[in-house]
Structure 1
Protein backbone atom coordinates (compact mmCIF):
# COMPACT_ATOMS: atom_id res chain seq x y z
CA UNK A 1 0.00 0.00 0.00
CA UNK A 2 1.25 3.47 -0.88
CA UNK A 3 2.65 5.81 1.77
CA UNK A 4 1.32 9.37 1.69
CA UNK A 5 4.22 11.85 1.96
CA UNK A 6 4.00 15.64 1.99
CA UNK A 7 7.29 17.15 0.83
CA UNK A 8 8.27 20.78 0.46
CA UNK A 9 11.15 23.19 0.72
CA UNK A 10 10.41 25.78 3.36
CA UNK A 11 11.99 29.03 4.49
CA UNK A 12 13.18 29.12 8.09
CA UNK A 13 10.12 31.20 8.98
CA UNK A 14 7.70 28.57 7.67
CA UNK A 15 6.80 29.57 4.10
CA UNK A 16 6.80 27.24 1.08
CA UNK A 17 6.00 30.07 -1.34
CA UNK A 18 6.43 33.80 -1.08
CA UNK A 19 3.72 36.45 -1.43
CA UNK A 20 1.40 35.74 -4.34
CA UNK A 21 2.79 32.20 -4.66
CA UNK A 22 6.24 33.43 -5.71
CA UNK A 23 8.70 30.55 -6.02
CA UNK A 24 11.67 32.50 -7.39
CA UNK A 25 13.26 32.53 -3.91
CA UNK A 26 13.72 28.75 -4.16
CA UNK A 27 15.97 28.81 -7.23
CA UNK A 28 19.19 29.56 -5.33
CA UNK A 29 18.41 26.72 -2.88
CA UNK A 30 18.03 24.01 -5.51
CA UNK A 31 20.93 21.68 -5.97
CA UNK A 32 22.17 18.24 -5.15
CA UNK A 33 20.33 16.81 -2.18
CA UNK A 34 20.98 13.10 -1.59
CA UNK A 35 17.84 12.74 0.56
CA UNK A 36 15.59 14.15 -2.15
CA UNK A 37 17.50 12.40 -4.94
CA UNK A 38 16.95 9.03 -3.21
CA UNK A 39 13.27 9.83 -2.59
CA UNK A 40 12.54 10.61 -6.23
CA UNK A 41 13.09 6.97 -7.22
CA UNK A 42 10.60 5.85 -4.56
CA UNK A 43 7.74 8.10 -5.72
CA UNK A 44 4.99 6.26 -7.60
CA UNK A 45 2.55 9.14 -8.09
CA UNK A 46 2.01 12.80 -7.28
CA UNK A 47 -1.10 14.27 -5.65
CA UNK A 48 -0.92 17.97 -6.45
CA UNK A 49 -3.02 20.95 -5.49
CA UNK A 50 -4.35 23.18 -8.24
CA UNK A 51 -2.52 26.27 -6.96
CA UNK A 52 0.77 24.34 -6.94
CA UNK A 53 0.19 22.84 -10.38
CA UNK A 54 -0.70 26.16 -12.01
CA UNK A 55 1.63 28.26 -9.86
CA UNK A 56 5.01 29.84 -10.16
CA UNK A 57 7.90 27.54 -11.10
CA UNK A 58 11.39 27.88 -9.58
CA UNK A 59 12.72 26.38 -12.85
CA UNK A 60 11.11 29.15 -14.95
CA UNK A 61 12.99 29.96 -18.15
CA UNK A 62 15.07 26.76 -17.94
CA UNK A 63 14.69 23.41 -19.74
CA UNK A 64 13.33 21.96 -16.46
CA UNK A 65 10.37 24.37 -16.33
CA UNK A 66 7.07 22.59 -15.67
CA UNK A 67 8.75 19.29 -14.79
CA UNK A 68 8.30 17.68 -11.36
CA UNK A 69 11.53 17.81 -9.38
CA UNK A 70 13.08 19.80 -12.23
CA UNK A 71 12.69 16.84 -14.60
CA UNK A 72 14.12 14.32 -12.15
CA UNK A 73 10.80 12.45 -11.87
CA UNK A 74 8.17 11.30 -14.29
CA UNK A 75 4.98 9.38 -13.69
CA UNK A 76 1.28 9.85 -13.05
CA UNK A 77 0.14 13.13 -11.55
CA UNK A 78 -3.29 13.70 -10.06
CA UNK A 79 -4.28 17.35 -9.68
CA UNK A 80 -7.10 18.15 -7.29
CA UNK A 81 -9.06 21.04 -8.77
CA UNK A 82 -12.51 22.59 -9.15
CA UNK A 83 -11.48 23.91 -12.58
CA UNK A 84 -10.65 21.07 -14.97
CA UNK A 85 -8.96 22.49 -18.10
CA UNK A 86 -10.62 21.90 -21.45
CA UNK A 87 -7.40 20.64 -23.05
CA UNK A 88 -5.75 17.51 -21.64
CA UNK A 89 -2.24 17.69 -20.19
CA UNK A 90 -0.08 14.61 -20.91
CA UNK A 91 0.59 12.53 -17.78
CA UNK A 92 -1.83 14.58 -15.67
CA UNK A 93 -5.28 13.56 -14.48
CA UNK A 94 -7.48 16.34 -13.12
CA UNK A 95 -9.82 15.20 -10.36
CA UNK A 96 -12.57 17.22 -8.68
CA UNK A 97 -13.21 14.91 -5.71
CA UNK A 98 -10.64 14.65 -2.90
CA UNK A 99 -11.39 11.00 -2.07
CA UNK A 100 -11.25 9.97 -5.71
CA UNK A 101 -7.96 11.83 -6.22
CA UNK A 102 -6.36 10.12 -3.20
CA UNK A 103 -7.63 6.69 -4.26
CA UNK A 104 -6.36 7.14 -7.84
CA UNK A 105 -2.94 8.35 -6.69
CA UNK A 106 -2.57 5.50 -4.17
CA UNK A 107 -3.58 2.94 -6.78
CA UNK A 108 -1.10 4.36 -9.31
CA UNK A 109 1.71 4.48 -6.72
CA UNK A 110 1.40 0.84 -5.69
CA UNK A 111 3.90 0.21 -2.87
CA UNK A 112 5.73 3.49 -3.46
CA UNK A 113 5.12 7.00 -2.17
CA UNK A 114 2.28 9.27 -3.16
CA UNK A 115 4.09 12.59 -2.94
CA UNK A 116 1.67 15.32 -1.91
CA UNK A 117 2.55 18.75 -3.28
CA UNK A 118 0.70 21.81 -2.04
CA UNK A 119 -0.18 23.12 1.41
CA UNK A 120 -3.95 22.94 0.98
CA UNK A 121 -3.98 19.34 -0.27
CA UNK A 122 -1.57 18.33 2.50
CA UNK A 123 -3.88 19.93 5.10
CA UNK A 124 -6.82 18.02 3.64
CA UNK A 125 -4.82 14.79 3.87
CA UNK A 126 -3.96 15.57 7.51
CA UNK A 127 -7.59 16.37 8.35
CA UNK A 128 -8.68 13.07 6.79
CA UNK A 129 -6.03 11.10 8.71
CA UNK A 130 -4.36 10.03 5.47
CA UNK A 131 -0.94 11.67 5.67
CA UNK A 132 1.81 9.29 6.83
CA UNK A 133 5.05 11.30 6.55
CA UNK A 134 6.38 14.82 6.00
CA UNK A 135 9.74 15.76 4.48
CA UNK A 136 10.69 19.40 4.88
CA UNK A 137 13.87 20.82 3.37
CA UNK A 138 14.51 23.97 5.39
CA UNK A 139 16.32 26.57 3.30
CA UNK A 140 18.54 29.19 4.99
CA UNK A 141 16.30 32.15 4.17
CA UNK A 142 13.35 33.98 5.74
CA UNK A 143 10.57 35.28 3.49
CA UNK A 144 8.38 37.12 6.00
CA UNK A 145 5.12 36.35 4.17
CA UNK A 146 3.57 33.89 1.75
CA UNK A 147 2.08 30.41 1.81
CA UNK A 148 2.73 28.55 5.06
CA UNK A 149 3.81 24.90 5.17
CA UNK A 150 0.79 24.22 7.36
CA UNK A 151 -1.94 26.55 8.50
CA UNK A 152 -5.05 25.69 10.45
CA UNK A 153 -7.02 28.73 11.68
CA UNK A 154 -7.72 28.37 15.38
CA UNK A 155 -4.81 25.97 15.70
CA UNK A 156 -4.53 22.25 15.31
CA UNK A 157 -1.78 20.21 16.92
CA UNK A 158 -0.29 17.48 14.75
CA UNK A 159 2.03 15.12 16.60
CA UNK A 160 5.14 14.15 14.68
CA UNK A 161 8.07 11.82 15.24
CA UNK A 162 11.42 12.58 13.63
CA UNK A 163 12.71 9.69 11.51
CA UNK A 164 15.52 11.47 9.70
CA UNK A 165 17.70 14.57 9.78
CA UNK A 166 20.32 15.39 7.15
CA UNK A 167 22.23 18.49 6.10
CA UNK A 168 23.34 19.74 2.69
CA UNK A 169 24.90 23.14 1.96
CA UNK A 170 21.62 24.70 0.87
CA UNK A 171 19.11 22.99 3.24
CA UNK A 172 18.47 20.94 6.34
CA UNK A 173 16.18 17.99 5.65
CA UNK A 174 13.77 16.96 8.39
CA UNK A 175 11.80 13.76 7.77
CA UNK A 176 8.88 13.15 10.14
CA UNK A 177 6.24 10.49 10.67
CA UNK A 178 2.69 11.59 11.53
CA UNK A 179 1.80 10.05 14.91
CA UNK A 180 -1.77 8.79 15.05
Structure 2
Protein backbone atom coordinates (compact mmCIF):
# COMPACT_ATOMS: atom_id res chain seq x y z
CA UNK A 1 0.00 0.00 0.00
CA UNK A 2 1.19 3.50 -0.80
CA UNK A 3 2.68 5.60 1.97
CA UNK A 4 1.59 9.20 2.47
CA UNK A 5 4.57 11.56 2.48
CA UNK A 6 4.78 15.29 3.02
CA UNK A 7 7.79 16.58 1.07
CA UNK A 8 8.61 20.24 1.39
CA UNK A 9 11.40 22.78 1.24
CA UNK A 10 11.59 25.00 4.29
CA UNK A 11 13.65 28.03 5.29
CA UNK A 12 15.90 27.57 8.31
CA UNK A 13 13.42 29.60 10.38
CA UNK A 14 10.55 27.24 9.54
CA UNK A 15 8.68 28.84 6.65
CA UNK A 16 7.59 26.97 3.51
CA UNK A 17 6.19 30.05 1.74
CA UNK A 18 6.73 33.75 2.17
CA UNK A 19 4.06 36.28 3.13
CA UNK A 20 0.85 35.80 1.17
CA UNK A 21 2.01 32.36 -0.02
CA UNK A 22 4.88 33.80 -2.11
CA UNK A 23 7.07 31.00 -3.47
CA UNK A 24 9.64 33.13 -5.32
CA UNK A 25 12.07 32.73 -2.39
CA UNK A 26 12.47 29.06 -3.36
CA UNK A 27 13.73 29.61 -6.90
CA UNK A 28 17.47 29.98 -6.03
CA UNK A 29 17.33 26.68 -4.11
CA UNK A 30 15.92 24.54 -6.90
CA UNK A 31 18.62 22.43 -8.40
CA UNK A 32 20.06 18.96 -8.64
CA UNK A 33 19.30 16.80 -5.63
CA UNK A 34 19.69 13.01 -5.85
CA UNK A 35 17.19 12.44 -3.03
CA UNK A 36 14.50 14.51 -4.74
CA UNK A 37 15.22 12.76 -8.05
CA UNK A 38 14.70 9.42 -6.29
CA UNK A 39 11.50 10.69 -4.67
CA UNK A 40 10.12 11.77 -8.04
CA UNK A 41 10.66 8.27 -9.42
CA UNK A 42 8.90 6.74 -6.38
CA UNK A 43 5.90 9.09 -6.37
CA UNK A 44 2.72 7.47 -7.66
CA UNK A 45 0.21 10.23 -6.94
CA UNK A 46 -0.03 13.79 -5.64
CA UNK A 47 -2.46 15.02 -3.00
CA UNK A 48 -2.54 18.80 -3.11
CA UNK A 49 -4.53 21.24 -1.03
CA UNK A 50 -6.82 23.72 -2.73
CA UNK A 51 -4.86 26.80 -1.60
CA UNK A 52 -1.61 25.31 -2.90
CA UNK A 53 -3.29 24.25 -6.14
CA UNK A 54 -4.51 27.82 -6.73
CA UNK A 55 -1.38 29.42 -5.25
CA UNK A 56 2.01 30.67 -6.33
CA UNK A 57 4.71 28.67 -8.11
CA UNK A 58 8.48 28.92 -7.64
CA UNK A 59 8.62 28.55 -11.43
CA UNK A 60 6.44 31.61 -12.02
CA UNK A 61 6.92 33.03 -15.51
CA UNK A 62 8.46 29.86 -16.96
CA UNK A 63 7.12 26.85 -18.85
CA UNK A 64 7.33 24.87 -15.59
CA UNK A 65 4.93 27.19 -13.74
CA UNK A 66 2.32 25.24 -11.78
CA UNK A 67 3.83 21.85 -12.57
CA UNK A 68 4.77 19.36 -9.86
CA UNK A 69 8.54 19.25 -9.36
CA UNK A 70 8.86 21.85 -12.12
CA UNK A 71 7.50 19.40 -14.67
CA UNK A 72 9.77 16.57 -13.56
CA UNK A 73 6.80 14.44 -12.51
CA UNK A 74 3.51 13.53 -14.12
CA UNK A 75 0.67 11.35 -12.96
CA UNK A 76 -2.61 11.40 -11.08
CA UNK A 77 -3.27 14.47 -8.95
CA UNK A 78 -5.98 14.76 -6.32
CA UNK A 79 -6.96 18.23 -5.15
CA UNK A 80 -8.53 18.47 -1.69
CA UNK A 81 -10.78 21.51 -1.78
CA UNK A 82 -14.09 22.80 -0.53
CA UNK A 83 -14.46 24.68 -3.84
CA UNK A 84 -14.08 22.27 -6.77
CA UNK A 85 -14.29 23.89 -10.19
CA UNK A 86 -17.54 23.64 -12.11
CA UNK A 87 -15.83 22.19 -15.17
CA UNK A 88 -13.49 19.16 -15.03
CA UNK A 89 -9.79 19.91 -15.38
CA UNK A 90 -7.81 17.22 -17.27
CA UNK A 91 -5.35 15.36 -15.06
CA UNK A 92 -6.96 16.45 -11.78
CA UNK A 93 -9.52 14.83 -9.53
CA UNK A 94 -11.20 17.24 -7.10
CA UNK A 95 -12.25 15.79 -3.77
CA UNK A 96 -13.94 17.49 -0.81
CA UNK A 97 -13.29 14.85 1.88
CA UNK A 98 -9.81 14.12 3.28
CA UNK A 99 -10.32 10.37 3.83
CA UNK A 100 -11.81 9.97 0.35
CA UNK A 101 -8.90 11.92 -1.15
CA UNK A 102 -6.27 9.83 0.67
CA UNK A 103 -7.99 6.56 -0.24
CA UNK A 104 -8.20 7.51 -3.92
CA UNK A 105 -4.62 8.81 -4.03
CA UNK A 106 -3.28 5.67 -2.33
CA UNK A 107 -5.12 3.47 -4.82
CA UNK A 108 -3.71 5.49 -7.73
CA UNK A 109 -0.16 5.46 -6.29
CA UNK A 110 0.04 1.66 -6.03
CA UNK A 111 3.29 0.83 -4.25
CA UNK A 112 4.64 4.36 -4.68
CA UNK A 113 4.27 7.42 -2.51
CA UNK A 114 1.34 9.78 -2.25
CA UNK A 115 3.20 13.08 -2.03
CA UNK A 116 1.28 15.78 -0.15
CA UNK A 117 1.62 19.39 -1.25
CA UNK A 118 0.28 22.13 1.00
CA UNK A 119 0.74 22.95 4.68
CA UNK A 120 -2.93 22.71 5.68
CA UNK A 121 -3.43 19.43 3.84
CA UNK A 122 -0.29 17.96 5.43
CA UNK A 123 -1.44 19.06 8.88
CA UNK A 124 -4.89 17.55 8.23
CA UNK A 125 -3.24 14.27 7.19
CA UNK A 126 -1.13 14.33 10.34
CA UNK A 127 -4.14 15.02 12.55
CA UNK A 128 -6.13 12.24 10.85
CA UNK A 129 -3.30 9.75 11.44
CA UNK A 130 -2.71 9.06 7.74
CA UNK A 131 0.65 10.83 7.29
CA UNK A 132 3.44 8.23 7.28
CA UNK A 133 6.59 10.24 6.51
CA UNK A 134 7.94 13.79 6.24
CA UNK A 135 10.83 14.86 4.00
CA UNK A 136 12.05 18.34 4.83
CA UNK A 137 14.64 20.01 2.60
CA UNK A 138 16.07 22.86 4.63
CA UNK A 139 17.24 25.79 2.51
CA UNK A 140 19.98 28.05 3.87
CA UNK A 141 17.85 31.18 4.14
CA UNK A 142 15.84 33.01 6.80
CA UNK A 143 12.49 34.31 5.54
CA UNK A 144 11.31 35.94 8.76
CA UNK A 145 7.61 35.62 7.93
CA UNK A 146 5.18 33.56 5.90
CA UNK A 147 3.55 30.15 6.04
CA UNK A 148 4.98 27.84 8.71
CA UNK A 149 5.85 24.19 8.08
CA UNK A 150 3.36 22.93 10.69
CA UNK A 151 1.52 25.81 12.33
CA UNK A 152 -0.84 24.59 15.00
CA UNK A 153 -0.69 26.63 18.20
CA UNK A 154 -1.73 24.48 21.12
CA UNK A 155 -1.37 21.35 19.01
CA UNK A 156 -0.19 18.00 20.22
CA UNK A 157 3.36 16.70 20.20
CA UNK A 158 4.11 14.30 17.34
CA UNK A 159 7.15 12.04 17.62
CA UNK A 160 9.24 11.51 14.50
CA UNK A 161 11.95 8.94 13.79
CA UNK A 162 14.82 10.06 11.54
CA UNK A 163 15.23 7.77 8.53
CA UNK A 164 17.85 9.61 6.46
CA UNK A 165 19.91 12.78 6.24
CA UNK A 166 21.61 14.06 3.10
CA UNK A 167 23.23 17.28 1.96
CA UNK A 168 23.52 19.18 -1.30
CA UNK A 169 25.02 22.61 -1.88
CA UNK A 170 21.44 23.97 -1.88
CA UNK A 171 19.86 22.17 1.09
CA UNK A 172 20.07 19.73 3.97
CA UNK A 173 17.45 17.01 3.64
CA UNK A 174 15.99 15.17 6.61
CA UNK A 175 13.57 12.30 6.07
CA UNK A 176 11.39 11.25 9.02
CA UNK A 177 8.88 8.52 9.78
CA UNK A 178 5.86 9.49 11.88
CA UNK A 179 6.14 7.40 15.06
CA UNK A 180 2.97 5.52 15.90
TM-score class, shorter: over 0.9
Q: How far 1:136 sits from its partner (Å)?
A: 0.4
- Matched residue, 1:26: 26
RMSD of aligned Cα (Å)? 0.7
* Structure-2 separation of matches of 1:100 and 1:163: 28
| Post-superposition offset of 1:42 | 0.4
Alignment partners' CA distance in 2, 1:101 and 1:123: 14
What is the Cα deviation at residue 53 of structure 1? Answer: 0.7
Partner of 2:79: 79
User: How many residue pairs end up in the alignment?
Assistant: 180
Q: TM-score, normalised by structure 1?
A: 0.98
Give the secondary-structure state (helix, strand or coil) at the position aligned to 1:101: helix
After the TM superposition, which segments of 4 or more aligned residues of structure 1 sit over 4 Å from their partners? Answer: none
> What are the ranges of 5 or more consecutive residues in structure 1 without an aligned counterpart?
none
Q: Secondary structure at the match of 1:41?
A: helix
Give TM-score scaled by structure 2 length: 0.98
Rounded to whole Å, the distance in 1 between the matches of 2:119 and 2:138 is: 15
For residue 117 of structure 1, what is the aligned residue in structure 2? 117
- After superposition, give the CA deviation of every residue in 1:28-80 in whole Å (9 maximum; x if it has no partner): 00000110011101000001001111100000111111110000000000000
Give me the whole-angstrom Cα distance separating, in 2, the residues matched to 1:89 and 1:143. 34
Query: Map of 1:18-97 to 2, 5 A cutoff?
Result: 18-97=18-97
Structure-1 residue corresponding to 2:137: 137
How far has the Cα of 1:98 moved from its partner?
A: 1.1
Residue 88 of structure 1 and its aligned partner are, at CA, apart by 2.1
SS at match of 1:134: strand
1-structure distance, mates of 2:118, 2:67: 15
Task: Between 102-111 and 86-95, report the one with greater CA deviation.
Answer: 86-95
Alpha-carbon separation, structure 2, partners of 1:97 and 1:125: 11
**Distance across 2 between alignment mates of 1:23 and 1:89:** 23
